[in-house]
Structure 1
Amino acid sequence: MHISRVDLNLFTVFEAIYTEGSVTRASQQLHLTQPAISHALNRLRQLFDDPLFIRQGQNMVSTPLARSMIEPVRQALRGLEITLNESGKFDPSLASKQFNLALRDVLESTVLPPLLTSITRQAPQINLAAIQVERRELVSELAAGTLDVAIDMLLPLPVDIRRQQISRYTTVVLARRDHPVVQGKLDLKTYLQAEHILASSRRKGMGLEDFELSRLGLQRRVRLRCQHYFAACRVVSQTDLLLTMPEGYARIANEQFHNQILPLPVNMPSWDVYLYWHQNVDNDPANLWLREQIMQAFDAEPSAIRSAESLS
């Protein structure tokens, strides 16, 4: 079938239903009535001779054909959007849009406050969704436009994924104020003799500091493995365990606990944080504007943001 015989607006509806999993939410996203969305879905079903979405409870579940179509459709829509944006100027004060930003949750408390302050002031109709994405999905999501940008450590990504260094972090150690051994300073012997907390989203495996220790033929004892640094800071405040974590986030998460913040007594290489985007949005005015806001947000809070997480 020739493309001239197909209403391309149908694919916008298809992508919205797939993303939202609901005709109602798709209608809200596209600012169309539910009957209009249902009518478009019926036309798509006739076009492809497939139900595409099957209702299960309150959700619309995609068929195998719909799942095979979604990435090509998203890439095509993204290409059209980029073409339209590049043909004109992006005015953040008038634009109505949502940007999707992938980043680790530990960066949210440092990046989002200055970023949202800037976006809210300049762009009253622009929304931001900060989400966590599996690293193996970054390339496909950036290419499809379901992600506008990503912030992460240095990753081995293909050349069509652009990157720019935006931060560098240092690592510190937290100990409770009344720790019986650690008072104002910490040497390597004391560090190794202590028991530790490892905060990581992974179920198993060493932390970055453990890798560095192993290179030196050293090892520490991890008494507790937990998921979040905030919880780890609270445990530190009530035990003799030590916590190794990024300095910038330590100063935020530790505010109410008043733990000691000490230099890590092991030389660790700096870990750089990068901003990633797909080459197809290199010159997209909207994406360029977003990247500029992120860079300015990092510059706005140098003491906090320059020390990003270990991204473990």
Structure 2
Amino acid sequence: MNRIHQESVDLSAFSHIDINLYPLFIAIYEHQSITKAANLMCITQSAASHALQRLRLQLKDDLFIRSGIKMVATPFSHQIYPRIKETLIAIQHISTHHISFDPLTIQSIRIAIHDEIEPLIFPQLIRHFRDLGLATRFQSIKLDRTNWAKDLLSQQLDLVVDLQQKVDEKIYFNPLVNDRFVICGLTTIENLEQYKHAQHIGVSSRHSGVLIEDLHFKKLNIQRDIFLRCQHYSTALQILKEYPDTLLTLPFSILKNLKLPQDLKISELPVEFPLMKMGIYWNSQLASHQKFEYLISEINKIFA
């Protein structure tokens, strides 16, 4: 603190400094792309390129060198990045500290969500924010479990709805729904032996890999005979009608939102099985932003 007071500010120098260029510097540095930086700053790629050129002249360094599709930071950029980011964060905190947040300023929200989970979440989400009198536009994006964490951290997504799992420490998780697995078939399942000796339909949007429920069955030394694997539970239910000895295991909340065959029997799993925890993920670096504080608070109210 004493050092800050001892240093003087050359106010005349700011006539030659365009502070608006520095958020763009941070965006290009963190995403290694002028295109992504331009999207985050809500400007055109051409405007971002011209702004970068002005900053290069101002700082007398190339700052970023194109290597393939990436913009690679120069040694000078690596040196100044921490100080610039720290300064911008400080300015951001000062400028927003006494400003009351207006939810009407939330224009759009991009949410990645699995298409089987979408009917459970989105109708309630839209209804709640409509009742709040907001004209927020929601964009549902197909969940890509390989890349969603990266997209969340790069702010290509605002929120992600998915099952609870281990993720990057920079990502926060907030539980919304606890669900249980049940069994569907044309016959009632009364014991484990009956379940184990049946043929099963597996549902997954992935082309390979172990099903979520089979990860838990493996711990119980239970191996199922998956005779068919498809992408949607609605498809699996239609197939059940043609194969009376076949079973489908799925989350109960998803089952409630599907059109069920008339003779369908629903049974509880004949073994103890952990609840499936589903919730919302967001970038921890944005957790203190009033927009995200408001969004998470309102979404929690929906599923409380």
TM-score by length of 1: 0.67
Unaligned runs of 5+ in 1: 54-60, 300-312
Q: Taking structure 1 as reference, are residues 261 and 98 closer, same or farther at Cα in structure 2, changes over 3 Å only?
A: same
Residues 86, 284 of structure 1: 8 Å contact kept: no
Q: Taking structure 1 as reference, are residues 174 and 296 closer, same or farther at Cα in structure 2, changes over 3 Å only?
A: same
| Residue 205 of structure 1, aligned match among 200, 209, 218 | 209
Deviation, structure 1 residue 117: 0.9
Deviation, structure 1 residue 112: 0.7
Letter in 1 for 2:157: L
Letter in 2 for 1:232: A
Could you say which structure has the greater relative contact order, defined with CA pairs below 8 angstroms and 6 or more residues apart?
1
Unaligned runs of 5+ in 2: 1-12
Structure 2 counterparts to residues 60-75 of structure 1, below 5 A: 64-65=71-72
Residues 184, 248 of structure 2: 8 Å contact kept: yes
Partner of 2:279: 274
Q: Taking structure 1 as reference, are residues 279 and 125 closer, same or farther at Cα in structure 2, changes over 3 Å only?
A: same
Partner Cα separation in structure 2 for residue 136 and residue 236 of structure 1: 33
Q: Taking structure 1 as reference, are residues 38 and 208 closer, same or farther at Cα in structure 2, changes over 3 Å only?
A: closer
Residues 148, 160 of structure 2: 8 Å contact kept: no
Partner Cα separation in structure 1 for residue 148 and residue 256 of structure 2: 31
SS at match of 1:100: strand
Deviation, structure 1 residue 231: 1.9
Structure 1, residues 93-124: CA drift from partner, whole Å, max 9, x if none?
3x143223333332211111111111123253
Q: Taking structure 1 as reference, are residues 143 and 128 closer, same or farther at Cα in structure 2, changes over 3 Å only?
A: same
Partner Cα separation in structure 2 for residue 163 and residue 278 of structure 1: 9
Letter in 1 for 2:160: A
Deviation, structure 1 residue 212: 3.1
Instruction: Give aligned-pair identity as a percent.
Output: 25
Structure 2 counterparts to residues 98-247 of structure 1, below 5 A: 98-131=108-141, 132-134=143-145, 137-138=148-149, 140-175=150-185, 179=186, 182=187, 184-240=188-244, 241-247=246-252
Partner Cα separation in structure 1 for residue 223 and residue 45 of structure 2: 60
Residues 82, 281 of structure 1: 8 Å contact kept: no
Partner Cα separation in structure 2 for residue 91 and residue 289 of structure 1: 10
> Which has the larger Rg?
2
Deviation, structure 1 residue 257: 3.4
Partner Cα separation in structure 2 for residue 232 and residue 8 of structure 1: 57
Partner Cα separation in structure 2 for residue 283 and residue 146 of structure 1: 18
Q: Taking structure 1 as reference, are residues 84 and 187 closer, same or farther at Cα in structure 2, changes over 3 Å only?
A: farther
Residues 151, 276 of structure 1: 8 Å contact kept: yes
Partner Cα separation in structure 2 for residue 104 and residue 147 of structure 1: 14
TM-score by length of 2: 0.69
Partner Cα separation in structure 2 for residue 188 and residue 145 of structure 1: 46
- Tell me the C-alpha RMSD between the 2 structures: 4.4
| Residue 268 of structure 2, aligned match among 251, 263, 266 | 263
Deviation, structure 1 residue 125: 3.6
Deviation, structure 1 residue 291: 0.5
